[in-house]
Amino acid sequence: MLQHGRNLSRCSQRFSDAVLPIPLDRIVTGLPDPEAREMVDEVSAGRLTRLRVEDVMTRAVVTATVDTTFKELERLLAEGDITGLPVVGPTGEIIGVVSEADLMLRSEAGGETLSGWSPAARERRAKSAALTAGGLMSSPAVTVEPGAALAAAARMMRRGGVKRLPVMDHGRLVGIVTRADVLKSYLRDDAEILTDVVEGVIRGRMWIDPTTLEVEVDDGVVSMRGQVERRSEVEIIATLTRGVEGVMEVESSLTFRFDDRGVQPPKEQRHT
């Protein structure tokens, strides 16, 4: 567990550009500001919002055609140390995706006849008898654009029940992104996270002396204790901290001196 706060050594690592740049004078005043609120909400959507698919995708993609045989598919997966690959047509268009699970279905079936008449059962039966990628693949393929947010790609994989997405740019295959690529974005050292929170969020964005607060990071979980000036700052600090790359959870015990929830901006005076 790494710590920072009173009587604790100061983190000296350089703050990375992991925190969304929100104009400080518009979020620490405690005054309503719809545009600033929208930017804060963008951070709360998660640390993956700043990463794009193109930042983590594999660009050298191993592909197959509809005529690629079962044995050749096995070889491609083994040699590439991958668990799935896109199936492309004559002009490079994506037709489907073949995964290890598709190959396992045929291997496990052997000579056994699969029963059932549901769409899923019929699909399993067809794949168990297939000899080429055209029969084994799942189609149509779920694809994503290189400029899409990594968070959006993660949601697409979860909702579609797939582990990889071919990346298409104007109809051209330019890469592939997998669940493993998404998970790697969470893997940061606690010391790096602590630096970004202390130097980037607390000192850099909020202009608060970090020695007045206690911050700990343990396996990506950030704990905070201490007192700040305004109630709105408690929420903003927690929100910005959740936006730091690698933060898994924020446990905030911050208190405040002044509740600014009811503060209204001064009305504009008209000069006659």
- CATH value at residue 115: 3.10.580.10
| Average pLDDT of the residues in 27-45 | 43
Residue 79 and residue 61 in one domain: yes
Whose structure tokens read 């994506």? 94
Computed over every residue of the chain, the mean pLDDT equals 78
Task: Please report which confidence band the pLDDT of residue 271 belongs to, taking 50, 70 and 90 as the band edges.
Answer: low
Range of the domain at 29: 2-51+187-258
The owner of tokens 């700990």 is: 216
> Is it the case that residue 124 has pLDDT exceeding 80?
no
Cβ neighbours for 106, distance < 8 A, ≥ 6 positions apart: 70, 127, 128, 129, 130, 136
Residue 66 pLDDT > 50, yes or no?
yes
pLDDT average, residue stretch 191-210: 91
- Tokens for 171? 């109809």
Same domain assignment for residues 96 and 134 = yes
128 and 227 part of one domain? no
| Omega before residue 21 within 30° of 0, cis | no
Residues 119 and 159 in one domain: yes
Residues 89 and 170 occupy one common structural domain = yes
Q: Number of folded domains in the chain? A: 2
